[in-house]
Amino acid sequence: MRHQELIVYRNFEDGELLEDMAYVCEHYRDSKIKSIVPAGAGTDAPDVTALFYRCIHALIELAGNYGFHGNLWHCYLANLLVNNENGYSMGCEGRGGIDGTINAAALHDIVIFKEFYDFDFTPVMEQLNVPEFSLVENYEGSMQESRVYNQRICRRICELAEAFCRDSTPEEMKDTLTQFYKEYGVGKFGLHKSFRIQRDGEGVHVTPILNIAHVHLSDLVGYELQKQKLVENTEAFVSGRKANNCLLFGDAGTGKSSCIKAIANEYYSRGLRIIEVYRHQFQDLNDTIAQIKNRNYKFIIYMDDLSFEDFETEYKYLKAVIEGGLERKPENVLIYATSNRRHLIREYYSDKEEIREDMHKSDTVQEKLSLAARFGVSIYFGSPTPRQFQEIVLALAERNHIAMPEKKLLEEAVKWELSHGGLSGRTAQQFIDHLLGIQ
């Protein structure tokens, strides 16, 4: 196996297994090899048979972590290709084929990967007396949830692995891979919808959120004008037109956060990605934007329940990122935030009193308003009226097939909201969940 001859596709995150498998395939005819140390073997290299068993173990562990099934060796190779961010894969993400000499370099590597795919392990199993490798050639996965991918991503990679097997030439395999990059992208940003920021000793990392809530705008009852306004702005953004930062503000439990989650689901197939940022991470925003500004995706930096007390100063980082810093915010980045406060920062009547200790009190007021002013679109979510609350309850009850007379249902809903937070969509959903739980 010519893995050391790869040009574009190198530095794989899980590349140790590839090196070990290549070592086995090159030396399986030898009896006991200890003179050459394979990757990760340490100073005491095992014999080829022991290394082959370790590779089988690694492939089965891969199936458990990633949810793969079928030919695990093929799934592993496909996973390497869809996660390797290089000049070719990143150039093709969201766009398809690109021009230039990079195509010849990429094809050179796909020729080698085609050899990996077509390799017949039968002689290896016979020579080493390891028939157990057949387990990973037709592996039936369990229903256990993947710890790395959700089922949607896992299915796509397994399907890609099967498609590669149907390709008779490296050129066809390259075309299949390029089409995958066009439709789904490459690496974590291509495969996942939503992300969070994490900092460690090596810096700031954008890491995937595996289990995003499967909320859709059609699931949210009411607030049609608010949803329309949010959709119009997001539609413009993903279409490459001018769009504004959005602030969704208003009463608690009215669906502001759910709308953002729904947007992430609705527009994922068109290249939209969501990065959730908490208030204490605002100082990491510049590092985060530096990692995403040159990618062929649209990114919404999402801040939930955004508000500040007057003595908190973290919002100054956010102001500079949104508008005001020397570096212009990239065209592929918008800020969406939710808050119970219209102006985000706590205000006091004393801010506008005639008798003031602050000589320039108007400057203080402007400072507090300046953050909210940087959101070009503000959408208000108010608590529903009693009648609207009832409509929400009825719609949710019908959707969840709750068999209860309407009069009785609404009477119980009123009792519930009086003691569980008042009129809101969240209270209605909690009431429905309560009914489902006691059925």
Q: Is there a single domain that holds both residue 362 and residue 275?
A: yes
Rounded CA gap, 349 and 199, in Å? 39
Q: Is there a single domain that holds both residue 153 and residue 256?
A: no
Residues 6+ apart with CB under 8 A from 312: none
Residue 234 is assigned to a structural domain of this protein: no
**Is pLDDT at 312 greater than 80 in this prediction?**
no
Q: Is there a single domain that holds both residue 309 and residue 337?
A: yes
Q: Is there a single domain that holds both residue 375 and residue 394?
A: no
Residue 324 is assigned to a structural domain of this protein: yes
Average confidence (pLDDT) over 96-115: 94
Instruction: Quote the Cα angle for 383-417-436, to 5°.
Output: 115
Residue 237 is assigned to a structural domain of this protein: no
Helix axes 361-373, 315-322, angle to 10 degrees: 60
Cβ(266)–Cβ(217) below 8 Å: yes
Q: Is there a single domain that holds both residue 253 and residue 110?
A: no
Half-sphere exposure of residue 176: CA atoms within 13 angstroms, side-chain side: 21
**Is pLDDT at 364 greater than 50 in this prediction?**
no
Residue 356 is assigned to a structural domain of this protein: yes
Range of the domain at 399: 386-438
Residue 347 is assigned to a structural domain of this protein: yes
Q: Is there a single domain that holds both residue 274 and residue 186?
A: no
Number of domains in the chain: 3
Is residue 264 classed as helix, strand or coil in its secondary structure? Answer: helix
The conformational region for residue 218 under phi > 0 = left, psi -120 to 50 = alpha, else beta, is alpha
Q: Is there a single domain that holds both residue 153 and residue 254?
A: no
**Is pLDDT at 248 greater than 80 in this prediction?**
yes
Report pLDDT for 219.
Answer: 83
Which among 349, 381, 413 is the end of a domain? 381
**CATH number, domain containing residue 307:** 3.40.50
Residue 233 is assigned to a structural domain of this protein: no
Report pLDDT for 34.
Answer: 46
Confidence of residue 280 (pLDDT cuts 50, 70, 90): confident
62-96 pLDDT per residue, tens: 998 888 999 999 999 999 999 999 999 999 998 89
Q: Is there a single domain that holds both residue 256 and residue 164?
A: no
Q: Is there a single domain that holds both residue 57 and residue 174?
A: yes
Residue 251 is assigned to a structural domain of this protein: yes
Rounded CA gap, 279 and 396, in Å? 33
- Which of 93-107, 341-355, 399-413 has the lowest average pLDDT? 341-355
Residue 393 is assigned to a structural domain of this protein: yes
Segments in 283-404 forming alpha helices (H): 285-292, 315-322, 361-373, 386-399
Q: Is there a single domain that holds both residue 149 and residue 96?
A: yes
Q: Is there a single domain that holds both residue 251 and residue 373?
A: yes
Which among 381, 397, 430 is the end of a domain? 381
Average confidence (pLDDT) over 219-240: 92
